[in-house]
Amino acid sequence: MPGTYVKIGPEKYRLYVSNGSDARGHPIRHTKTITAKSEYDAKRQLNEFYLSVKKKPAGNQSRMKFAAFYKIWKERHGPLLSPTTYDTYVLAIEDRIIPYFGNMQLKRINETQVQGFIEELRIDGERHDGWKGKLAPASIFKFYRILRAMLNRAVAWHYLTENPCNRIEPEERPKPNYKPRQILQKTELSEFLAALFSKKDTATNVKYKLMVYLLLISGLRRGELYALTWEDVDMENKRLTINKSAYTVKGNQRGTKEPKTALSNRAVFFDDLAAQLFKLHKERQEKWLKKHKLSNPGQYLFLATEGRNGGTEAERSNPSSLYHWLRHFTRMNGLPHISVHALRHTAASYALAAGVDILSVKDMLGHTKLSTTSIYLHGLEDNKQAAARVLSSAYEEIIKNPDPGD
């Protein structure tokens, strides 16, 4: 129904219709008291009132500029985002979107202007991160996706009646063009693990051995790995409880948040080798804490050993530390570089190749949708070659012994 009505007396009704929002994002409500002989008549008059209200410019839309809407968006929607997502959005908006749309009236932004923004990124979009070259398709898609999300909020809050991004033809919209994630093939994985476990069992080496092996055995996300505490480790059942994710924002402020999705709250399991690494890591960590006269009240599984701010309490490791360690480790051992997230892909690919059903892999990874898990269906070269040999044998047999009935 276009609005609501309330009976306030015999044949008396009050009509309510919303149209737009004020500067703080609160709906602007129009009211009218009418005389109606029946509810049917009240509904008829409500419909007429609705049409008359909608002919008026919606509240705060006629002159509001995009920059003003951005302030409202930060106040209303910002607190609903995770700290890392919020920082990513704000950086992208202030770096690219505000300079282009900031002085435009929100309601006058149309698909032509959105397309102009996209084309400018494609043609003149120089990188702002210090590296040479133009923006990658994935970066252009990110800016477009954030703009579209903001304008969706504008529609939901009645500042706009339609998102202009939706009027762009699908084939003209930016595409992320993501590169397939790297995984370690069997020979590469063998060399990688040999180099990893040949390192001396110093406190630092054991810490990173455990990190890397946990990613390979359980497919954890990086944030989930760094958020682990000793309370999450069940040595008796060789099980990890995943119920939080670590993050770092500007100023090196660290914290934890809810996992990425509801199904990311889960249990994952580890093996005897991981259990040995846990015990060794516990011993090395306790010696390190005692040596530096530190306590670990947060029971963090992985502690920062460098760049500490002083004090008597140990700090959780920065989630970027494994990236830097991996880069140095692969370079020093002549191994192909592999990202932290690629270890998660490797875990999923080897589980699937070993015959684990895709639903179990989905649960292990904490995915909500099976379609997300399917992204991790990287083929192992040995398996592909084996499949080709099986098919070759089958076809060769058919060629040699054709069925006379065909």
Give the pLDDT of residue 378: 59
* Mean predicted confidence (pLDDT) in 15-36: 76
* Mean predicted confidence (pLDDT) in 240-253: 77
Amino acid code (one letter) for 23: A
Give the pLDDT of residue 117: 93
Q: What is the per-residue pLDDT across 59-115, written as a single tens digit (0 to 9) for each? A: 555 578 999 999 999 988 988 887 888 888 999 999 999 999 999 999 999 999 999
Under 8 Å between Cβ of 217 and 225 = no
Amino acid code (one letter) for 271: D
Q: What is the per-residue pLDDT across 282-330, written as a single tens digit (0 to 9) for each? A: 999 999 999 989 999 999 999 988 756 667 888 898 888 999 999 999 9
Question: In which element (H, E) is residue 52 found?
Answer: helix 39-54
The C-alpha atoms of residue 16 and residue 27 are separated, in whole angstroms, by: 11
pLDDT band at 386; cut points 50, 70, 90 = low
Higher local confidence (pLDDT), 294 or 363:
294
pLDDT band at 182; cut points 50, 70, 90 = confident
DSSP 59-90: BTTSS-BHHHHHHHHHHHTGGGS-HHHHHHHH
The C-alpha atoms of residue 330 and residue 337 are separated, in whole angstroms, by: 6
Give the pLDDT of residue 356: 80
Give the pLDDT of residue 357: 80
pLDDT band at 277; cut points 50, 70, 90 = very high
Per CATH, which fold does 66-172 belong to?
A: DNA polymerase; domain 1 (1.10.150)
Give the pLDDT of residue 327: 93
Share of the chain above pLDDT 70, in %: 82
The C-alpha atoms of residue 400 and residue 406 are separated, in whole angstroms, by: 14
Higher local confidence (pLDDT), 119 or 264:
119
Share of the chain above pLDDT 90, in %: 38
The C-alpha atoms of residue 281 and residue 275 are separated, in whole angstroms, by: 10
Give the pLDDT of residue 178: 62
What residue spans define the domains of the chain?
Answer: 4-54, 66-172, 186-374
* Mean predicted confidence (pLDDT) in 350-368: 81
Q: Where are the beta strands (DSSP E) in 198-304?
A: 233-234, 239-242, 245-249, 253-257, 266-269
pLDDT band at 170; cut points 50, 70, 90 = confident
Give the pLDDT of residue 303: 92
Per CATH, which fold does 186-374 belong to?
A: hpI Integrase; Chain A (1.10.443)
Give the pLDDT of residue 210: 96
- Note if the pTM is more than 0.75: no
> Quick one: which of 362, 381, 380 has its CA closest to 371?
362
The C-alpha atoms of residue 315 and residue 91 are separated, in whole angstroms, by: 27
Higher local confidence (pLDDT), 342 or 388:
342
Mean pLDDT of the chain: 84
* Mean predicted confidence (pLDDT) in 337-349: 87
Give the pLDDT of residue 404: 57
Give the pLDDT of residue 195: 93
The C-alpha atoms of residue 28 and residue 220 are separated, in whole angstroms, by: 46
pLDDT of residue 166 exceeding 80: yes
> Quick one: which of 52, 29, 25, 187 has its CA closest to 106?
25
Q: What is the per-residue pLDDT across 189-231, written as a single tens digit (0 to 9) for each? A: 899 999 999 999 999 999 999 999 999 988 898 989 999 999 9
What do you get for the CA distance between the two ends of the chain, in Å? 65
Question: Tell me, what DSSP letter sits at residue 95?
Answer: I
Give the pLDDT of residue 145: 95
Give the pLDDT of residue 331: 93
Under 8 Å between Cβ of 273 and 216 = no
pLDDT band at 55; cut points 50, 70, 90 = low
* Mean predicted confidence (pLDDT) in 242-246: 87
pLDDT band at 402; cut points 50, 70, 90 = low
